Amino acid sequence: MSKAKNRYTGITAIKGPDGLQYPITVSGPYASLSNEVERAYFSHYYYMMINYAVSMFEWINLPYEIPEKFIERTLCLEGFGSFYKLLDTPVFMRSLLQGPFDIYYEPKRLTLIAVNGFSKQVAREDCVLCYNNYLRQPTAFYLETYAARMAKAEAFIEVNFNTSKTPVIMKAQNRNQKLTLENAYAKFTGNSPVIIDTDNMDLSSQFEAINLNVPFLVPQVEQYKKQVWDDAMAFLGIRNVYSDKRERLVSSEADGNIQQIEMSRFTMLNARKAACEEINRKYGWDIDVQFRLITDYGNGLLGHALDDDLIERSIEDADNNDDDGFGENP
């Protein structure tokens, strides 16, 4: 990923494989990643979470000229965009807020911009601003933290797994033996069988094994990863059925967790609904937006708008099917 400039103070951007700019903080979690392995894992989780984020909302009765995916991608990555009629054609465009601002900090003018270089200055009353949330911030800002934590955990697992093997110190008497031992060690670290011609080598004098008793922490870190992932999903307003179920079994705090998830949905959904109301008044359209959640493949609920009753039934079905939420034990 290459870096690119971004309009936010203290924010830069990484250019993703699709050519889009994905905002990251200049000195934030991404900057704390120390090597290419961590950055590779970061990309994996960052894009995965963004894919979830841009799929969460279902727009109803949108004009066919406006793709839903572009609305959500713009809001997720930039924080706001504008609905506008360009030569009587409905469009949704990236926007720059310009002063002066009114007493409610709403801009009086905007510049609408497109990736093809087109731009147009318009008055606030001639378009409809749609915010991603009440702070007008991109969802991607927040996902950076979770992706960085997941990346560091994955990199730690690799290191811990490898160092849990018995470390070996190998001594060579000459260049040829050194090369042989290096090849043998490469096979060892690659989990391949090691075969050495010992005609001219005394293995007892060439090898010395030292057990550093490195603790195997992979299971604990895997649990940490799951907690980070659950936190990220809660931030997005996505309920993890199995996580909810386990928490319900051990704690009465499940209701509080649900309220947190509902509030996460509220911050983004209501900002979109406010735009829908203004659009319908201004243009005479009849559009709406609602939260969408993939709840259950088997019951045909894929892609349906959120219905908490459906989720409750999914949890109950999981309770009836197994004890741990991860399938029946053999």
Are both 241 and 294 inside the same structural domain?
Answer: yes
Is 96 part of any domain? no
pLDDT band at 108 (very low <50, low <70, confident <90, very high): very high
Cα dihedral: 182, 186, 191, 196 (round 10): -30
* Same domain assignment for residues 293 and 187: no
> Could you tell me if 284 and 320 lie in one domain?
yes
The predicted-structure confidence for 150-199, as pLDDT tens digits, reads as follows 999 999 999 888 777 656 666 667 787 778 777 777 776 665 555 555 56
Cα–Cα nearest to 284, from 57, 35, 88, 69: 88
Distances (CA, A) of 27 to 9, 31, 35, 109, 253: 12, 5, 15, 32, 35
In a domain, 245, yes or no: yes
Q: What percent of the chain has pLDDT over 70?
A: 69
Indicate whether 159 and 186 sit together in one domain: no
**Residues 154, 23 within the same domain:** yes
pLDDT, position 190: 63
Residue where a domain stops, chosen among 187, 213, 239 = 213
Q: Quick one: 265 and 235 in the same domain?
A: yes
User: Predicted confidence band at 325 (pLDDT cuts at 50, 70, 90)?
Assistant: very low
pLDDT at 79: 94
> 318 near 325, Cβ under 8 Å?
yes
Task: Provide the domain limits for residue 138.
Answer: 1-79+132-164+216-330
Q: What CATH number is associated with residue 204?
A: 3.30.1350
Same domain, 153 and 197: no
Domains of the chain: total? 2
Domain's final residue, options 213, 229, 245: 213
28-43 pLDDT, tens digit per residue, is 788 889 889 999 999 9
Residue 100 lies in a domain: no
Whether the CB-CB separation of 230 and 240 falls below 8 Å is answered with yes
pLDDT digits (tens, 9 = 90+) for 59-79: 999 999 999 999 999 999 999
Same domain, 142 and 58: yes
Q: Are residues 293 and 267 in the same domain?
A: yes
Q: Last residue of some domain: 155, 180, 213?
A: 213
**Domain co-membership, 191 together with 298:** no
Pick 10 or 101 by higher pLDDT: 101
